[in-house]
């Protein structure tokens, strides 16, 4: 599947991490009508 990275940001403050990633896909993933895939994370440096 072709994907283009549109946005990626990762910030750490104290012991916390915030990460945001957005891709534009060549075609929608099954069950969706939009062309975007994303990942959002907020937690500690050790994955909690």
Provide the residue ranges of all domains of the chain, joining segments of one domain with +.
3-44
Q: What is the mean pLDDT of residues 28-48?
A: 90
| Collapsed DSSP state (helix, strand, coil) of residue 45 | coil
Per-residue pLDDT band at 45 (split at 50, 70, 90): confident
Query: For the segment 1-27, what is each residue's pLDDT rounded down to a tens digit?
Result: 689 999 999 999 988 999 999 999 999
Binned at pLDDT 50, 70 and 90, residue 47 comes out as confident
Q: What gap in Å lies between CA 29 and CA 10, rounded to an integer?
A: 25
């Amino acid at each position: 599947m072709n994907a283009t990275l549109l946005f990626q940001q990762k910030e750490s403050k104290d012991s916390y991490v915030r990460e945001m990633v957005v891709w534009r896909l060549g075609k929608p993933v099954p069950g969706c009508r939009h062309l975007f895939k994303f990942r959002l994370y907020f937690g500690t440096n050790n994955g909690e």
